């Protein structure tokens, strides 16, 4: 396999692995927890590194998971004091833990691979050079294998506990009342977020992990109506961000991880604007259509109320609408045009009159009111 | 005597502040009981500790003579409507099916027979046409009825409901009351956190007056008195007098 293909494959696996637990973070309104965990795993990694002296040891992953769970537990402890809210608790806990990690690196690990740049941003381009061999046989890039294992763990966990995860995400109290141990599941989920973060950390660094955990699920949330479709769409968006990011980075000669995160942001922004039902454009269009519909109704009812009366000559003039109904010219013209198209009114010079259809529409609208 | 709900010496505290203080409540089976009291009286905490969601500082709760953990399958719970995120990506039928998760247990997924049961209880609350509707598109009253359907599908003996009339229109309120009275006719016990004192005598046969301590509990005609209400609601005498005036009419 070529290096280019391997990097893309790693990128896709990383993005997909992050998107899976990300769905539940986004749904439980805990997106910021991914930020906290991805930073707070650092001291866990550093301490595990000091103990084992080896960055590729599985202890590193366990150390990271411990760091992540410590964050979740500390946030919970602070929140339970009732003295500060969860966001403030997160904002206090993770910088504290992260800074401990940074100081440990600066003091004791100045000469190893654990430098700050790599920690924050990761470097996907070098991933193919770090390979795992067994008995002289090349098994593939380490990042791919590690992340592949974590992906399988995430997929298995979410498939097996799908029903339970859905319940704790939607209604924690009911989950507790039915005996589904929501606190335990929550910690397992957060443990997986930590493990995923440490796995992805090598490839994309601790900051960009957050983008990959939050942006694809947040995009999928705008596009889908069910939990399963949301998971599938998150995974697809994550994979697309990864591949697109790789080629953008290739083209700009820039950081692959940075380009992946940017692409996930670009995709989110496009979906935010263009999503069929919940997108900004569609919402705007719906509002404007409703306004026009309402304008048409008002116009027809206005004409109906004054029909046949002495003041009709005056009340039913086009320019009068702008004065009396306080409509601006553009909206008045739109309402008139649309009423003409619907065959509700007739226009003779500046005078407007109702058609039979228009009269019927006015009567039925008045009944609705 | 076998009580459906038997709460003894229940004390719940957040840090040092007691929310419930040495509360006793015995509810015989087949009773529709209102739990009333001012804001912060501990009504929700009473329900939550009955369901093992809050660990009490002292005291015990028995459901038909046994602790809740052994009675899960016979107890249904309707949380406050506002306690969940109604923008969650799911539909009405799916939410109702969640009521059956307890019976299914871990790992097992709901199938066709569960969906049929869920549809039946949706029909009981008059919402069967909404089965595939996104829950974000429901009105407040419809949300409440979905929650009720989710409790009905559990086919429990004891129901705990936290403010099922919160923010529903008059028609829905009547429909819900009828459902509750039907449950009682079937011999079920229903405990409801309720806010509207005026309707207590009309809707319920028992009432508990709660304000951190239990002020009184028992049949409405015995304990729903002006004196007890005054004790429960303290300073808000005008409110209570207006109520008793309304009751005399």
Residue pLDDT, tens place only, A159-207: 999 999 999 999 999 999 999 999 999 999 998 998 898 888 777 777 7
**What DSSP string describes B114-150?**
HHHHHHHHHHHTT-GGGTTSBGGG--HHHHHHHHHHH
**DSSP letter (8 states) at residue B110:** P
Q: What is the ipTM of this complex?
A: 0.88
Q: pLDDT tens digit string along B183-222?
A: 999 999 999 999 888 888 889 999 999 988 888 888 988 8
Instruction: Region of B20 please: left (phi>0), alpha (psi -120 to 50) or beta.
Output: beta
A173 vs B15, B72, B83: nearest CB: B83
pLDDT tier for residue A112 given thresholds of 50, 70 and 90 = low
Strands B66-67 and B75-78, sheet pairing: unpaired
A27 vs B75, B88, B104: nearest CB: B88
Domain end, chosen from A254, A278, A302, is at A278
Residue of A nearest to B85 (CA): A170
* Domain containing residue A234: CATH number: 1.10.3470.10
Distance in angstroms (rounded) separating the CA atoms of residues A258 and B232: 62
Give the other-Cβ count within 10 Å of A115's Cβ.
13
What pLDDT score was predicted for residue A272? 95
* A13 & A155 share domain: yes
Three-class DSSP category at A117? helix
* A263 & A317 share domain: no
pLDDT tier for residue B115 given thresholds of 50, 70 and 90 = very high
pLDDT greater at residue A310 or residue A168: A168
Is residue B29 within 8 angstroms of chain A, CB to CB?
no
* Domain containing residue A352: CATH number: 1.10.10.10
* A186 & A331 share domain: no
Is residue B82 within 8 angstroms of chain A, CB to CB?
no
Is residue B104 within 8 angstroms of chain A, CB to CB?
yes
Is A173–B53 a contact, with Cβ atoms under 8 angstroms apart? yes
Domain end, chosen from A278, A303, A323, is at A278
Substitution target in B89, B98, B99 with the highest count of A β-carbons within 10 Å is: B89
CA of B190 vs chain A CAs: smallest distance (Å): 16
Give the other-Cβ count within 10 Å of A11's Cβ.
31
* A223 & A356 share domain: no
* A299 & A211 share domain: no
Contact B125, B148 (CB under 8 A): yes
pLDDT tier for residue A122 given thresholds of 50, 70 and 90 = low
Is A178–B69 a contact, with Cβ atoms under 8 angstroms apart? no
CB pairs under 8 A between A and B: 73
Residue of A nearest to B98 (CA): A167
Q: Going by C-beta distance under 8 Å and a sequence separation of 6 or more, which residues neighbour residue B19?
A: B12, B13, B40, B42, B45, B212
Task: Tell the residue number behind the tokens 């697109």, with chain if given.
Answer: A244
CA of A131 vs chain B CAs: smallest distance (Å): 37
Q: Going by C-beta distance under 8 Å and a sequence separation of 6 or more, which residues neighbour residue A207?
A: A38, A120, A121, A261
Residue of A nearest to B159 (CA): A177
* A93 & A108 share domain: yes
Query: At what angle are helices B170-185 and B140-152 packed, to 10 degrees?
Result: 10
Residue of B nearest to A83 (CA): B15
Is B101–A226 a contact, with Cβ atoms under 8 angstroms apart? no
Substitution target in B88, B96, B110 with the highest count of A β-carbons within 10 Å is: B88
Q: Going by C-beta distance under 8 Å and a sequence separation of 6 or more, which residues neighbour residue A347?
A: A318, A336, A340
Residue of A nearest to B135 (CA): A225
Distance in angstroms (rounded) separating the CA atoms of residues A14 and A12: 5
Three-class DSSP category at A224? coil
Is residue B53 within 8 angstroms of chain A, CB to CB?
yes
CA of B89 vs chain A CAs: smallest distance (Å): 5
CA of B150 vs chain A CAs: smallest distance (Å): 10
Residues of A in contact with B75 (CB under 8 A): 177
Domain end, chosen from A241, A263, A278, is at A278
Q: What is the maximum span of chain B, computed from C-alpha positions, in angstroms? A: 56
* A243 & A358 share domain: no
Is residue B98 within 8 angstroms of chain A, CB to CB?
yes
Q: pLDDT tens digit string along B130-147?
A: 999 999 999 888 999 999
A173 vs B69, B79, B89: nearest CB: B79
* A228 & A339 share domain: no
Distance in angstroms (rounded) separating the CA atoms of residues B247 and B228: 15
Tokens for A285, please give them.
Answer: 């269009």
* A323 & A358 share domain: yes
What pLDDT score was predicted for residue B41? 87
Contact B179, B20 (CB under 8 A): no
pLDDT tier for residue B246 given thresholds of 50, 70 and 90 = low
Is residue B242 within 8 angstroms of chain A, CB to CB?
no
Residues of B in contact with A161 (CB under 8 A): 107
Contact A169, B88 (CB under 8 A): yes
CA dihedral B132, B136, B141, B145 (to 10 degrees): 40
Tokens for A304, please give them.
Answer: 């109906």
Alpha helices in chain A (DSSP H): 3-27, 31-52, 58-80, 86-108, 116-121, 142-160, 162-170, 172-177, 182-223, 227-252, 256-274, 280-306, 312-315, 318-324, 329-341, 356-368
* A323 & A210 share domain: no
Q: pLDDT tens digit string along A135-150?
A: 888 888 888 888 999 9
**Residues comprising chain B, all counted:** 249
Q: What domain count does chain A have? A: 2
CA of A265 vs chain B CAs: smallest distance (Å): 22
Residue of B nearest to A27 (CA): B88
Q: Sheet holding B5-14: strands in order across? A: B17-27, B5-14, B58-63, B66-67
What pLDDT score was predicted for residue A316? 72
Calculate the average pLDDT of chain A: 86
* A180 & A300 share domain: no
**Residues comprising chain A, all counted:** 369
Distance in angstroms (rounded) separating the CA atoms of residues A38 and A58: 17
B88 vs A164, A170, A176: nearest CB: A170
Q: At residue A36, does pLDDT exceed 80? A: yes
Residues of A in contact with B151 (CB under 8 A): none
Domain range for A292: 285-368
**What DSSP string describes A10-37?**
HHHHHHHHHHHHHHHHHHTT-HHHHHHH
Alpha helices in A224-279 (DSSP H): 227-252, 256-274
* A290 & A270 share domain: no
Contact A53, A63 (CB under 8 A): no
Residue of B nearest to A229 (CA): B89
């Amino acid at each position: 396999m070529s290096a280019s293909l391997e990097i893309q494959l790693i990128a896709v696996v990383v993005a997909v692995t992050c998107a899976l637990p990300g769905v539940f973070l986004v749904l439980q309104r805990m997106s910021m927890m991914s930020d906290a965990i991805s930073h707070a795993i650092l001291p866990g990694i550093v301490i595990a590194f000091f103990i084992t002296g080896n960055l590729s040891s599985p202890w590193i992953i366990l150390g990271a998971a411990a760091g992540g769970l410590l964050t979740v537990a500390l946030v919970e402890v602070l929140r339970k004091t009732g003295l500060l809210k969860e966001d403030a608790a997160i904002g206090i806990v993770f910088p504290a833990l992260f800074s401990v990690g940074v100081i440990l690196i600066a003091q004791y690990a100045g000469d190893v691979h654990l430098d700050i740049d790599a920690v924050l941003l990761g470097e996907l381009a070098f991933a193919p050079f770090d390979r795992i061999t067994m008995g002289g046989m090349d098994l593939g890039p380490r990042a791919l294998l590690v992340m592949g294992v974590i992906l399988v763990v995430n997929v298995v966990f979410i498939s097996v506990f799908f029903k339970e995860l859905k319940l704790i995400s939607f209604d924690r109290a009911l989950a507790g009342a039915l005996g589904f141990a929501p606190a335990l599941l929550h910690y397992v989920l957060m443990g997986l977020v930590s493990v995923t973060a440490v796995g992805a950390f090598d490839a994309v660094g601790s900051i960009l992990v957050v983008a990959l955990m939050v942006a694809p699920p947040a995009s999928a949330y705008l596009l889908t109506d069910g939990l399963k479709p949301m998971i599938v769409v998150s995974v697809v968006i994550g994979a697309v961000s990864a591949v697109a990011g790789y080629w953008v980075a290739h083209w700009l000669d820039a950081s692959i991880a940075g380009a992946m995160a940017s692409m996930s942001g670009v995709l989110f922004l496009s979906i935010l604007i263009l999503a069929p039902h919940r997108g900004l454009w569609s919402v705007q269009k719906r509002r404007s259509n409703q306004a026009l519909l309402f304008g048409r109704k008002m116009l027809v009812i206005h004409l109906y109320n004054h029909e046949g009366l002495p003041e009709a000559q005056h009340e039913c003039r086009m320019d009068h609408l702008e004065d009396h109904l306080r409509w601006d010219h553009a909206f008045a013209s739109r309402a008139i045009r649309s009423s003409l198209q619907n065959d509700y009114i007739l226009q003779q010079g500046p005078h407007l009159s109702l058609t039979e259809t228009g009269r019927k529409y006015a009567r039925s609208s008045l009944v609705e009111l | 005597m076998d009580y459906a709900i038997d709460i003894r010496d229940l004390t719940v505290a957040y840090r040092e502040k007691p929310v419930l203080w040495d509360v006793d409540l015995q509810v015989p089976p087949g009773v529709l009981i209102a739990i009333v009291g001012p804001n912060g009286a501990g009504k929700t905490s009473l329900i939550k500790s009955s369901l093992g969601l809050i660990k009490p500082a002292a005291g015990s709760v028995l459901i038909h003579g046994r602790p809740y953990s052994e009675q899960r399958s016979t107890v249904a719970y309707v949380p406050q409507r506002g306690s969940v995120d109604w923008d969650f990506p799911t539909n009405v039928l799916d939410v109702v099916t969640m009521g059956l998760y307890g019976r299914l247990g871990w790992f097992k997924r709901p199938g066709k027979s569960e969906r049929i049961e869920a549809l039946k209880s949706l029909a009981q609350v008059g919402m069967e046409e909404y089965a595939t509707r996104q829950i974000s598109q429901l009105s407040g009253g419809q949300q409440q009825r979905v929650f009720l359907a989710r409790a009905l599908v559990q086919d429990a003996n004891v129901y705990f409901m936290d403010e099922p009339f919160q923010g529903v229109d008059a028609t829905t309120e009547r429909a819900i009351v009828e459902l509750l009275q039907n449950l009682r006719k079937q011999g079920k016990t229903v405990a409801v956190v309720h806010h509207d004192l005026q309707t207590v005598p009309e809707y319920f046969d028992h009432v508990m007056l709660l304000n951190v301590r239990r002020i009184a509990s028992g049949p409405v005609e015995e304990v729903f008195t002006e004196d007890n209400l005054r004790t429960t609601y303290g300073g808000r005498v005008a409110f209570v007098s207006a109520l008793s005036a309304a009751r005399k009419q």
